[in-house]
Amino acid sequence: MAADRRIVIENCSIATVDAHDTEYADGYVVIVGNRVESLGAGRAPEGLENVVRRIDATGHLVTPGLVNTHHHYYQWITRGLATDHNLFNWLVALYPTWARIDEPMVYAAAQGSLAMMARGGVTTAMDHHYVFPRDSGDLSGAIIRAARETGVRFTLARGSMDRSEKDGGLPPDFAVETLEGALTATEATVKEHHDPSFDAMTQVAVAPCSPFSVSTELLREGAELARRLGVRLHTHGSETVEEEQFCKELFGMGPTDYFESTGWLGEDVWMAHCVHMNDSDIAAFARTKTGVAHCPSSNARLAAGIARVPDMLAAGVPVGLGVDGTASNESGELHTELRNALLINRLGAHKEAALNARQALRLGTYGGAQVLGRASQIGSLEPGKLADLVLWKLDTLAHASIADPVTALVFGAAAPVTASFVNGRQIVEAGRLLHVDEDAIARATRAEAQRLAQLAGR
């Protein structure tokens, strides 16, 4: 899009999710090029030049696009398996299948994962990919290609595993890389794909999988590599009681202390789950500004527990939301996680005061931007920030009788997306993806899921 082309969106409610939670009951947004130029109450200013499109958004709420902070796209073709398992039993059941993935499978699974999220209002997606079977092709390249085709902004967390069963880890020996191999491939991926610029569409993070599948050396040297290259760090942390026991037995300390000892607390780090955190763990995250990807549905699906999100927020820990892999959250949607985060946290210690609708929306937008290190660029609607935004249709049967639009979005059914913009470019129109063929993707994912099942002998 030419830098001076304007799109005007009018007659909508707006939740900006800025520092003051500014909202407009009836307002406008002007996009110029890939940025938000202006927004406010009432009609757009008169006399704007180069207006290529004017959208009457009556009946809609406009919010910043949703930001997903934790996912494993390849799991799209292993959904609905090991449905009554805790984390460790689920992993052990699925590793042998996952170890058979190849490039066409990973590409189709990424397309499916991305399509599901994008049509539900995600504008910045991420994939933590950590299964790299030998000779399986260019998996990172395939994932990035799928993200580019869908049109979303994207962070690839280049994962790795090097602690297999023979070293006391959980994955089978054939599912892991060597320490050297993982570090070399991760560095190459950063150099090939990471864009540090303000309006980057693709970024890469260094992301060894978890304490129970990665050596201490890979954690330590991975952190050094990320800091040398100036990229972020991501992993799983404190997900289950079993992980805590594993860390205490092997390292003589809990997960947070173990992460601190390997260089894994810091404002350039975000960690998925963080369910089993005591007060001093939360204080350590707050002190170091380590981010958290809260994945409420996955935590419920695997009976991991309830993360202490209200305590984290009160302490000043940056918290975003994550779908997590779709083998542990089959819906694959992020907008439903706004509601699930609110509901599940109310089952915890803070009861009905745990989270409100606006805090839930903030987790899914600005909070996600914070943990991805992009809060100056995305996550709220403010002049000068990137034009990543969603028009939620709230005037149909599902929501029309709820007066407050943010309450309707978070408490109500999953709202239809009339339009979604990323970097000023529209990627969704009336709930359909504009740049990829959703039906073709559905067929491809089914075929690749069947091929994988056959290869794995299921």
Specify the amino acid at residue 156.
L
The window from 245-253, 323-331, 348-356, 373-381 that contacts Zn ion (CB under 5 A) reads 323-331
**In the bound complex, which residue of the shown chain has the CB atom lying closest to Zn ion?**
324
The window from 34-42, 270-278, 299-307, 330-338 that contacts Zn ion (CB under 5 A) reads 270-278
As a whole number of angstroms, the distance between CA 131 and CA 178 comes to: 12
CB of 434 to Zn ion, least distance (A): 29
The window from 53-61, 321-329, 406-414, 433-441 that contacts Zn ion (CB under 5 A) reads 321-329
- Measured from the CB atom, the residue of 306 and 455 that comes closer to Zn ion is 306
The window from 87-95, 272-280, 379-387, 438-446 that contacts Zn ion (CB under 5 A) reads 272-280
- Measured from the CB atom, the residue of 127 and 324 that comes closer to Zn ion is 324
- Measured from the CB atom, the residue of 90 and 285 that comes closer to Zn ion is 90
As a whole number of angstroms, the distance between CA 328 and CA 301 comes to: 6
CB of 236 to Zn ion, least distance (A): 5
- Measured from the CB atom, the residue of 208 and 416 that comes closer to Zn ion is 208
- How many of the chain's residues bind Zn ion (CB under 5 A)? 2
DSSP H helix total and E strand total for the chain: 15, 17
Cβ of 242: how many Cβ atoms within 10 Å? 16
CB of 72 to Zn ion, least distance (A): 6
As a whole number of angstroms, the distance between CA 90 and CA 98 comes to: 12
CB of 239 to Zn ion, least distance (A): 8
Eight-class DSSP state of 53: E
The window from 143-151, 169-177, 251-259, 264-272 that contacts Zn ion (CB under 5 A) reads 264-272
x-marked contacts with Zn ion along 4-43 as a string, rule CB under 5 A: ----------------------------------------
Cα–Cα separations (whole angstroms), residue 274 to 169, 233, 259, 310, 317: 20, 15, 12, 13, 11
As a whole number of angstroms, the distance between CA 153 and CA 303 comes to: 31
As a whole number of angstroms, the distance between CA 436 and CA 456 comes to: 29
Cα–Cα separations (whole angstroms), residue 93 to 171, 302, 304, 451: 10, 13, 17, 18
Say if residues 152 and 181 touch (Cβ distance below 8 Å): no
Give me the residues that bind Zn ion (CB under 5 A), please. 272, 324
